[in-house]
């Protein structure tokens, strides 16, 4: 805490400043400001000068250190996933999984393991916005008793590419264009779609990226996936394949595209603020960990390769087994020290978890150490508090830049015989308890010569893209088609949109026709697939709308009031909303107190111009006749209601507010109600049936 000492100043005849320093020292109980060397600072307001108007002196070590540190306090941002938000919490195991894994955190029911979870966008820089159409990172660091396990994934269960050698090309293509450095944080531009249209293996991922999965309502309402097929190994050395899934307690929820665009204008930190405020309020975000566990025989029975990161195993074929819950209950104390300096690495695993030959995973195992060294400047980044394991660390790795430990003794190598002479010999390997890589038995599907080839089934780039499309509702399909139209409309290279539509013909004829019509181009010929796609049964689990969790828990309800608002109706609504687990947020034309019908005033949580309806999951318009007359002349109030209706949100209103709703173009439907239980039921869902009446979709 800085010393808060007031300095009175006046001007002498020559213009010099005379300081009247309090006679007494710092207030008792307050920490004293020091340099990084611990030297107490007497004056943190003025540089050391040769006279009142003379030059600054080089001997001012306080100034030198302060400016020096400031000049170097920024580190390189992540190449991808630069913009992130994070929180501390724990993982609690539901039951022992000793039959399938020896990983310590899965051995005991109720076992709690500390975690640090970071969510992120992929394409944008650290200073970009929270709500673009983009993949979201979902990285979990488990601080287990056997060391750190990093499960580093996304909110989409697959990826754009099958082989890590294409990752630099993907990132170069989707990032800002090399000659003009824009656009920021978006894929709607030439280079990305030029590259993607030439890479059929991206098609399945593009379906997900153009869906509402890429514009989530909240980080708390977002699924997470490990993406790759991993292995679990039990104490007997038996191996199972596994895919990891995180499922949000509040259900999966998205925004509409127009809503996401307006959220960028309303609040660049919308997701970050939402996560931080929920935790601060005690509404701890929670996910369940689901496993898809299967063996070699099951893997070989599938018409696709489980080592292909562009493929999923539908839940209808292999249901999830829920094995624990993830709870985030503490915000970081310092964003830079924790959220920015946390270093995830897929190679960080614990005994009982192992890798497969997924070629994208194998490349990630190689890459992450390099990028952490580049960002954090030292091979000792693992010693930073946020990265340090919570179990003992003992080895012979020494020195290096920013070494924060002080190893003692001569033993910095092994084997050694120093202990025979009374000196500490240091730690030793343990074949019994140490990590052992799974020894793949001969004849398995992963075995083979080392060649620059891909497995035959990797060539099927369209079957699962078609599966994703057929699993969506008609509304979701409209959103996907419209997203393709929007993104490709930003492409100036004439050859790219027809090429992309030619790829989409392998997914679905209607989808391709809708995109071509939306772009105003002729339907091109179908691009010949490397392997003919097959029809797979739809997977309802892939649809957000089919799995909508009708709840108000964790949601935010905007309540518009004005002078004369009925105090009883307002109080009842706030009670109902709070009782349903939602957070009421009162909006008024002015931030100061608004007079209610009972003669009392209420201070609004937000001012109308600064609190657009995009910030809320449902809205209420609680006005008196006089308040309605005033707001009929307020363009912001009309826009507030128009957007809420256009973004398919439930709207409740008093009878006196009806003229304002009518002027805003609100048409009666099941989502427009009077205050009460009907509103609570309506607010728990989104009114997708309303959408075709409001906007033209592809």
What's the Cα-to-Cα distance from 426 to each of 148, 189, 397, 415, rounded to whole Å? 22, 56, 11, 9
Assess contact for 561 and 627: CB atoms under 8 A. yes
DSSP string computed for 624-638: -HHHHHHHTT-HHHH
In whole angstroms, what is the distance from residue 483 CA to residue 477 CA? 10
Annotated active-site residue 81? The verdict is yes
417: phi then psi, degrees, rounded to nearest 5: -115, 25
Catalytic residue of the set 154, 331, 380, 503: 154
CB atoms within 10 A of CB 665: 12
Strand partners, 354: 231
276: phi then psi, degrees, rounded to nearest 5: -60, -45
Nearest residue to 661 (alpha-carbon basis) of 641, 636, 686: 641
In whole angstroms, what is the distance from residue 224 CA to residue 461 CA? 23
Q: Which residue has 């070590």 as its token pair? A: 61
User: For residue 451, what are the contacts with CB-CB under 8 A and spacing of at least 6?
Assistant: none
Alpha helices in 188-269 (DSSP H): 190-197, 203-209, 257-266
User: For residue 465, what are the contacts with CB-CB under 8 A and spacing of at least 6?
Assistant: 203, 204, 206, 207, 506, 507
User: Half-sphere exposure of residue 459, counting CA atoms within 13 Å on the CB side?
Assistant: 9
Annotated active-site residue 154? The verdict is yes
Q: Which residue has 């190689």 as its token pair? A: 366
Element (H, E) at 678: helix 677-683
Element (H, E) at 680: helix 677-683
Residue 467: strand, helix, or coil: helix
In whole angstroms, what is the distance from residue 508 CA to residue 471 CA? 12
Q: Which residue has 């019994």 as its token pair? A: 432
Alpha helices in 438-566 (DSSP H): 463-470, 474-489, 496-504, 509-519
Catalytic residue of the set 20, 32, 72, 81: 81
Q: Which residues are catalytic?
A: 81, 154
């Amino acid at each position: 805490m800085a010393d808060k000492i007031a300095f009175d100043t006046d001007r002498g005849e020559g213009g010099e400043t005379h300081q009247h320093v309090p006679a007494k020292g710092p207030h008792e109980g307050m920490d004293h400001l020091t340099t990084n060397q611990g030297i107490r600072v007497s004056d943190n307001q003025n540089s050391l000068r040769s006279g009142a108007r003379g030059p600054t002196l080089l001997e001012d070590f306080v100034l030198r250190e302060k400016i020096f540190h400031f000049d170097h306090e920024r580190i390189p941002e992540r190449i991808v996933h630069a913009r992130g938000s994070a929180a501390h919490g724990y993982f609690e195991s539901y039951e022992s999984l000793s039959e399938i894994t020896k990983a310590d955190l899965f051995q005991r029911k109720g076992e709690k393991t500390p975690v640090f979870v970071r969510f992120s966008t992929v394409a944008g820089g650290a200073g970009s916005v929270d709500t673009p159409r983009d993949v979201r990172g979902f990285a979990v660091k488990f601080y287990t008793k056997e060391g750190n396990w990093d499960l580093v994934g996304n909110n989409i269960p697959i990826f754009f590419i099958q082989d890590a050698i294409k990752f630099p090309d993907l990132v170069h293509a989707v990032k800002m264009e090399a000659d003009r450095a824009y656009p920021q944080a978006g894929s709607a531009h030439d280079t990305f779609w030029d590259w993607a249209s030439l890479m059929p293996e991206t098609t399945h991922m593009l379906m997900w990226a153009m869906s509402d999965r890429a514009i989530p309502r909240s980080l708390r309402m977002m699924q997470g996936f490990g993406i790759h097929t991993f292995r679990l190994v039990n104490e007997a050395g038996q191996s199972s394949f596994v895919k990891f899934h995180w499922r949000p307690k509040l259900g999966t929820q998205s925004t509409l595209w127009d809503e996401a665009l307006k959220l960028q204008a309303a609040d660049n930190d919308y997701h970050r603020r939402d996560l931080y405020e929920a935790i601060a309020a005690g509404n701890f975000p929670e996910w369940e960990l689901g496993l898809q566990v299967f063996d070699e025989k099951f893997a070989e029975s599938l018409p696709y390769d489980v080592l292909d990161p562009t493929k999923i195993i539908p839940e209808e074929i292999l249901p999830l087994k829920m094995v624990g819950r993830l709870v985030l209950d503490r915000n970081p104390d310092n964003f830079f020290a924790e959220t920015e300096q946390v270093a995830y690495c897929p190679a960080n695993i614990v005994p009982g978890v192992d890798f497969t030959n997924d070629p994208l995973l194998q490349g990630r195992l190689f890459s992450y150490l390099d990028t952490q060294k580049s960002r954090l400047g030292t091979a000792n980044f693992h010693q930073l508090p946020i990265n340090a394991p919570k179990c003992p660390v003992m080895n012979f790795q020494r020195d290096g830049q920013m070494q924060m430990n002080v190893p003692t003794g001569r033993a910095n190598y092994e084997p050694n015989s120093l202990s025979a002479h009374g000196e500490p010999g240091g730690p030793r390997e343990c074949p019994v308890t140490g990590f052992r890589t799974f020894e793949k038995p001969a004849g398995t599907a992963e075995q083979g010569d080392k060649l620059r080839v891909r497995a035959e089934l990797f060539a099927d780039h369209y079957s699962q893209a078609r599966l994703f499309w057929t699993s969506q509702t008609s509304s979701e399909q409209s959103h996907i088609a419209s997203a393709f139209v929007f993104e490709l409309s930003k492409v100036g290279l004439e050859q790219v949109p027809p090429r992309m539509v030619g790829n989409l013909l392998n997914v679905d004829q209607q989808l391709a026709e809708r995109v071509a019509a939306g772009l105003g181009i002729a339907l091109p010929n179908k691009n010949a697939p490397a392997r003919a796609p097959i029809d797979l049964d739809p997977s309802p689990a892939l649809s957000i709308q089919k799995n909508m969790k009708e709840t108000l828990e964790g949601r935010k309800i905007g309540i518009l009031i004005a002078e004369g608002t009925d105090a009883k109706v307002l109080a009842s609504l706030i009670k109902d909303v709070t009782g349903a687990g939602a957070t009421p947020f009162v909006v008024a034309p002015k931030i100061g107190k608004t007079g209610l019908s009972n003669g009392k005033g209420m201070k609004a949580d937000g001012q109308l111009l600064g609190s657009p309806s995009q910030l809320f999951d449902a809205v209420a318009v609680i006005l008196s006749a006089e308040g309605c007359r005033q707001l009929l002349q307020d363009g912001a109030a009309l826009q507030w209601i128009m957007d809420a209706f256009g973004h398919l949100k439930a709207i409740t209103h008093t009878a006196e507010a009806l003229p304002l709703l009518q002027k805003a173009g609100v048409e009666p439907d099941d989502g427009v109600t009077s205050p009460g239980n009907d509103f609570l039921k309506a607010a728990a869902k989104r009114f997708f049936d309303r959408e075709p009446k409001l906007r033209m979709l592809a």
